[in-house]
Structure 1
Amino acid sequence: MGLIDVSRIVMRDVLAVNEGEEVLIITNPGEVFEISLSLFNAAKEFKANPTILIQEPKDSLEYAERTVIEAIKSEPDVILSISEKKLGKDAYGLNIGYVGRDNRKYTHIFEKLLKGDRKIRSFWSPGITKEMYLRSVPIDYAVLREEARILAEILTKGKEVHITTEKGTDLWINVEGRKPLKDDGDFRKAGKGGNLPAGEVFISPAVGKSEGVIVFDGTLGLGGRSIIPKAPVRVYVKNGFVVRIEGGDEAKKLEDAIKNAEKMALEMRKEEYAKNSWHLGELGIGLNPRAQMSGKLLEDEKIRKTIHIAIGANYDNDAPALNHYDCLVWNPTVEVDGEKIMDKGNFTIF
């Protein structure tokens, strides 16, 4: 199976692209451009109207080019971000902001159109490679969506999640009143979007209510790049915030990345953003049956037998930050209100 074959699956099963629809593909030079070109050609086969826009790679603290932002403002039916690192931040959105039709404020025009106005549908693939695309994208999306539905239903009803591992993780996360989100590859309607490769259910912890210790023994996201730690990284959490990070060189790199986001927020005079640089912003549970450890967080956080915790901004937009650094925990035991849903990495619910 080649790139074009996988991209046809994407157009049909993931996006349900229709004749005449506008498809904007934002990418970078290099390997990601080859993937983007296959998506461009597949979209043409479905009689859509695709456009590719190329900018230099952007990390998580850099701004997208103005022309990219303006292209997004044209409100195409589908927007795809196939990037080496990240799409890039929106200067106007960060400093002034957009108000969506839902009357909520958004810091990026893309987020406003997707979540606030529900005018576009999308997927984004930061750090994707051809190998990852060929391996983890062509899966049975019907099965993935059913598993994600079951897991999201449990989290919707849940109040408290307890995560433990043999390496020392012992974390309590309050999720009462929070709504889980499904990255299940179902981006067929306006307002829907997520990663490709897909395959996770995730939820924002209640602000200020997580407690315990996390031992990260899988990939660490540092914003536009990721590393696999040689030794586990211990992160201590109190009242929802990271208060101490211990470990080797990788622990120092994670701490420095958070400090850089905090510093940038302070320079922008956004004290709330600076504070939330250290807040737990996400609990995610991997579901993709073909995802493998690649050192790229885009794929690694979808691996079955893992959960990931993000440090920084959350998805409920009540703890904004400039960073969102996902980090992995292998083979966890996960309980929701005392009922076990994972046992040492193995699901007990399906």
Structure 2
Amino acid sequence: MEPIEVSRIVMRDVLDVQEGEEILIITNPGEVLGISLSLFDAAKEFKARPSIVVQEPKGTLDYAERSVIEAIKSGPDVVISISEKKLGKDAYGLNIGYVGRDNKKYTHIFEKLLWGDKRIRSFWSPGIDVYMYLRAVPIDYKKLREEAGILGDILDKGSEVHITSEKGTDLWISIKGRKALRDDGDFRRPGSGGNLPAGEVFISPAVGKSEGVIVFDGTLGLGGKSVVPKEPVKVYVEDGFVKRIEGGEDAKKLENAIKEAEKRALEMGKEELAKNSWHLGELGIGLNPKAIMSGKLLEDEKLRNTIHIAIGANYDNDAPALNHFDCLVMNPTVEVDGEKIMEKGKFLIF
């Protein structure tokens, strides 16, 4: 396939773009700009009204350009972020904050409009490249949505998840009262959004309720970049927070990245954000049938034989942080309330 062919699938099957809709594409110079231009051209074929804003690449702790924030504030129907690293943080949102129609507080205008107001729909692709776009985006979205629905329903009804692996992971996570989010490529309604490539179901652990040991033997997210560890990284968790990290040089990289996010939060006078830099913010389970281990977290976390756990901010906005570092456990066994849903990386539920 050519990028324009994949972008047509995105406009039709993922976004259901309609004539006259405003589509904002935020991107960077380089390879991602080419993908963005194919989306621009595909949107025009659907008689939509696309615009592109190009900014320099942004890391996890960097601020988006003011022009980008203002463009999002204009409230287009669709916001797409095709970035080399990240979209960039919102200075006003972090320091003062926005209140959505749901009366919840948000630290980014994008999140307020998407989740708080349900005014826009979106997808975001941090770290994508052309080969990943051509390989893992054109998939059977009907089947993906069916599987994500089954898995999401199990997590919605669950109270506790137990994760083990042959490398030594033995982690208990409380999900009582939490609701799973389905990154199933169904971004056709206002208030919906997720990654492309799509293909995971994820949930925020209950605050302060995770215990055990995680052995990350897959890709480590370090904020705008990722690394496949040369040796497993062992993380000890108590009361929902990371207490100790052991391993080789990649373990030190992960620890230093968390410390940098903590330091930045303290410099801002945000003690809560600093504390939550070490909290477990997400449990995700991969579902994409065409994802391969590429060394890029955006794709790797969608691998069907993996789960990933994030350190930092969660999706329920009750444990905010500046960081959100997804890290992979390969071929895990996963139980929800004692019922096994995955064994050594193989699903048992479909």
Asked if Structure 1 and Structure 2 have the same fold, meaning a TM-score greater than 0.5 normalized by the shorter chain, the answer is yes
Alignment pair present for 1:43 and 2:43 = yes
Q: Would you identify which runs of 4 or more consecutive aligned residues in structure 1 move more than 4 Å?
A: none
1:165-197 alpha-carbon deviations (Å, 9 max, x no partner): 000000000000001000000000000000000
Matched residue, 2:30: 30
Q: CA deviation at 1:133?
A: 0.2
CA distance in 1, matches of 2:205, 2:97: 24
CA separation in 2, counterparts of 1:284 and 1:129?
22
The answer for the alignment partner of 2:341 in structure 1 is 341
Which residue of the partner structure matches residue 126 of structure 1? 126
Residues 103-122 of structure 1: per-residue CA shift (max 9 Å, x gap):
11110000000001101000
How far the C-alpha of 1:345 sits from its partner, in A, is 0.1
- Taking every aligned residue pair, what percent have the same amino acid on both sides? 81
Structure 2 counterpart of 1:134, which letter? Answer: L
Residue 302 of structure 1 corresponds to 302
Residue of structure 2 equivalent to 1:89: 89
What residue identity is the alignment partner of 1:120?
I
> In the alignment, residue 177 of structure 1 is paired with which amino acid?
G
Which residue pairs with 2:332 in the alignment?
A: 332
SS of 2:261 mapped into structure 1 = helix
| 1:3 paired residue number | 3
Find the residue that maps to 2:126 and give its secondary structure: coil
Query: CA-to-partner distance for each residue in 1:141-188, whole Å, 9 max, x for gaps?
Result: 000000000000000110000000000000000000001000000000
TM-score by length of 2: 1.00
- Kindly state the Cα deviation for residue 205 of structure 1 after the two structures are TM-superposed: 0.4
Q: CA RMSD in A?
A: 0.3
Instruction: Report the Cα distance in structure 1 between the residues aligned to 2:238 and 2:96, rounded to whole angstroms.
Output: 32
Q: What is the rounded CA distance, in whole Å, between the counterparts of 1:44 and 1:318 in structure 2?
A: 40
Cα drift, residue 334 of structure 1: 0.2
SS in 1 for 2:60: coil
Spell out, residue by residue over 1:44-69, the C-alpha distance to the aligned partner (whole angstroms, 9 max, x if none).
00000000110000001000000000
Equivalent position SS for 1:212: strand
Q: How far did 1:339 drift?
A: 0.3
Partner of 1:59, secondary structure, is coil
Question: Where does residue 115 of structure 1 map in the other structure?
Answer: 115
Query: Unaligned regions of 5+ residues in structure 1, if any?
Result: none
Shift of 1:225: 0.4
1:267-278 alignment, distance < 5 Å:
267-278=267-278
Q: What's 1:100 paired with?
A: 100
In the alignment, the residues of structure 2 paired with residue 213 and residue 137 of structure 1 have an alpha-carbon distance, to the nearest angstrom, of: 33
Gaps of 5+ in 2: none
Helix, strand or coil: the match of 1:125? strand
Instruction: Tell me the distance in 2 between the aligned counterparts of 1:304 and 1:100.
Output: 34
- SS across alignment from 2:127: coil
For residues 160 and 153 of structure 1, the distance between their equivalents in structure 2, rounded to whole angstroms, comes to 14
CA offset at residue 82 of structure 1? 0.2
State the AA in 2 paired with 1:44: K
Paired with 2:338 and 2:188, the residues of 1 have a C-alpha distance of 35
Query: Which amino acid in the other structure matches residue 231 of structure 1?
Result: E
1:141 equivalent in structure 2:
141
- Cα distance in 2 for partners of 1:115, 1:240 equals 25
Task: Give the distance between the partners of 1:275 and 1:96, measured in 2 at CA.
Answer: 19
**SS at structure 2 position matched to 1:47:** coil
Structure 2 counterpart SS, 1:82: strand
**Aligned partners of 1:284 and 1:36: how far apart in 2?**
27
Q: Distance in 2 between matches of 1:329 and 1:230?
A: 14
CA deviation digits over 1:203-223, x for unaligned, max 9?
000000100000000000000
Find the counterpart in structure 1 of residue 316 from structure 2: 316
2:116, 2:160 → 1: CA distance?
28
Paired letter, 2:48: A
Q: TM-score, normalized by length of structure 1?
A: 1.00
| Secondary structure at 1:161 match in 2 | strand
Deviation by residue 1:72-108 (Cα, 9 ceiling, x = unmatched): 0100000000000000000000000111111111100
1:182 maps to 2:182: yes
Aligned residue identity for 1:274: A
Looking at structure 2, the residues matched to 211 and 105 of structure 1 have their Cα atoms a distance apart, in angstroms, of 28
In 1, Cα distance between equivalents of 2:89 and 2:156: 31
Partner of 1:67: 67
Say which SS state the counterpart of residue 17 (structure 2) adopts: coil
Number of equivalent positions: 350
Q: Secondary structure at the match of 2:162?
A: strand
Partner of 2:166: 166
State how far apart, in whole Å, the 2-side matches of 1:103 and 1:280 are. 24
Looking at structure 2, the residues matched to 207 and 281 of structure 1 have their Cα atoms a distance apart, in angstroms, of 8
- 1:145 and 1:308 mapped to 2: Cα distance? 20
Structure 1 residue 263 displacement after superposition: 0.2
Q: Which residue of 2 aligns with 1:152?
A: 152
Cα distance between partner residues in 1 of 2:62 and 2:272: 20
- The one-letter amino acid of 1:199's match is G
What amino acid is the match of 1:57? Answer: P
Q: Distance in 1 between matches of 2:134 and 2:329?
A: 25
